[in-house]
């Protein structure tokens, strides 16, 4: 399951997407909106996605994970639109027969997502906005 959503991301639902009687370990990574960046207070984030390509890049990541680790089920859900501090930006769940594989596969997904998936976040401060990582 790969999805972009404007709704609040539901961790329990994400877990149920991958839970099955045959998995021994499920690792879930949740990225949330932090209240500060480099010491400066963040009010909210805005996520923008090139949705079609984001889905296809996420699918590539999931395909790689399935080819490398004995993954039973994977779910990736990423927010688009405005998110407040403490809200969920991204949630990834991986179910595997053994836990080490679940940890490694989940970590691979979030690491690669941050490198390749066309989603951008704008940090909104009291006194302005900045597209994250855009400039040196």
Partner 1 sequence: MIDRKIALEILAFGITKEVLKARSIEIELNEPVNIAHLKEVLLQEYPELGDLNSLAIAVNSEYAEDDTQLSEHDEVALIPPVSGG
- Verify binding: residue 117, partner 1, rule CB under 8 A: yes
Question: Residue 102 — left, alpha, or beta (φ > 0 → left; ψ -120 to 50 → alpha)?
Answer: alpha
Using CB distances below 5 to 8 A depending on partner kind, what does residue 3 bind out of its own copies, partner 1, none? Answer: none
Residue 117 touches which member of partner 1, its own copies, none, C-beta under 5-8 Å by kind: partner 1
Q: Judged by CB under 8 A, does residue 54 bind partner 1?
A: yes
CA distance 45 to 65: 29
- Binding residues (CB under 8 A) for its own copies: these are 10-12, 15, 19-36, 85-86, 97, 99-100, 102-103, 106-107, 110
Nearer to its own copies, 82 or 103 (CB): 103
Q: Which of residues 6-35 bind partner 1 (CB under 8 A)?
A: 31
* Closest distance to partner 1 from the beta carbon of 53 (Å): 4
Residue holding tokens 């963040």?
Answer: 42
> Does the footprint of partner 1 cover residue 78 (CB under 8 A)?
yes
Question: Which of the listed partners (partner 1, its own copies, none) does 36 bind, with a CB threshold of 5 to 8 Å by partner kind?
Answer: its own copies
Give the dihedral of Cα atoms 102, 14, 32, 45; nearest 10 deg. 130
Backbone dihedral angles phi then psi of residue 66, each to the nearest 5 degrees: -65, -30
Number of Cβ atoms within 10 Å of the Cβ of 79: 25
Could you give the 3-state DSSP secondary structure of residue 54?
helix
């Amino acid at each position: 399951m790969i999805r972009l959503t404007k709704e609040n991301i539901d961790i329990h639902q994400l877990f149920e997407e991958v839970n099955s009687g045959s998995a021994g370990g499920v690792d879930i990574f949740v990225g949330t909106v932090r209240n500060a960046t480099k010491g400066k207070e963040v009010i909210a984030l805005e996520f923008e996605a090139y949705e079609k390509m984001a889905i296809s890049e996420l699918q590539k990541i999931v395909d790689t994970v399935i080819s490398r680790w004995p993954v039973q089920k994977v779910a990736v859900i990423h927010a688009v639109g405005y998110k407040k501090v403490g809200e969920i930006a991204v949630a990834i769940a991986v179910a595997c027969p053994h836990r080490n594989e679940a940890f490694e596969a989940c970590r691979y997904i979030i690491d690669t997502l941050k490198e390749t998936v066309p989603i951008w976040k704008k940090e909104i401060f009291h006194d302005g906005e900045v597209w994250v990582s855009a400039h040196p």
